[in-house]
Amino acid sequence: MMSDKKQTEENFDSSKINAKELQKYEQEYSERGFKDKLRKYAKIIGVGAVYKVLQLWYVLQKPEVPLQQKALITGAIGYLIAPLDFIPDLTPVLGYSDDFIAITYALVQVRGYADAEVKEKSKHLIADIFGAAAVSELD
């Protein structure tokens, strides 16, 4: 009999993470939920993943970003916050892989808005969370 973890790994299809699918999680997004999740899991998910999430967060704050792109971002962050997703976050190692794919997908879609200011703000917050040395690991 196949374990639940093994079955989850085999059933996971990263191609299912797309704009339409992520927008389903938009209702999960909240500023408080985002900050709570980031605070709780920052050390677990790592500097690189937190950096990507923060870039999305700061792009979301820009008034010139179209609503469709903002919906994609809130969907991706909502997916990160959501207690249930394709691979449960409690699954060791793989638990966050789908979250990383969702975040990376959204960041690629809005990369034109992730300018130097967004990256600098993200790095500043990374330094606050992980320490100044952690910033040298980025980009």
**Average pLDDT in the chain:** 77
Using an 8 Å Cβ cutoff, are 37 and 89 in contact?
no
pLDDT at res. 13: 56
Using an 8 Å Cβ cutoff, are 110 and 56 in contact?
yes
Using an 8 Å Cβ cutoff, are 46 and 66 in contact?
no
Residues 6+ apart with CB under 8 A from 134: 47, 126, 127
Percent of the chain with pLDDT over 90: 31
Residue 50 pLDDT > 70, yes or no? Answer: yes
Distance CA 103, CA 80 (A): 8
User: Residues 105-129: what's their mean pLDDT?
Assistant: 92
More confident of the two residues 60 and 84: 60
pLDDT at res. 113: 96
Q: What is the pLDDT of residues 80-94, one digit of tens each?
A: 877 654 445 444 444
pLDDT at res. 7: 40
Indicate the pLDDT class of residue 36, thresholds 50, 70 and 90: confident
Residue 27 pLDDT > 60, yes or no? Answer: yes
60: left (phi over 0), alpha (psi -120 to 50) or beta: alpha
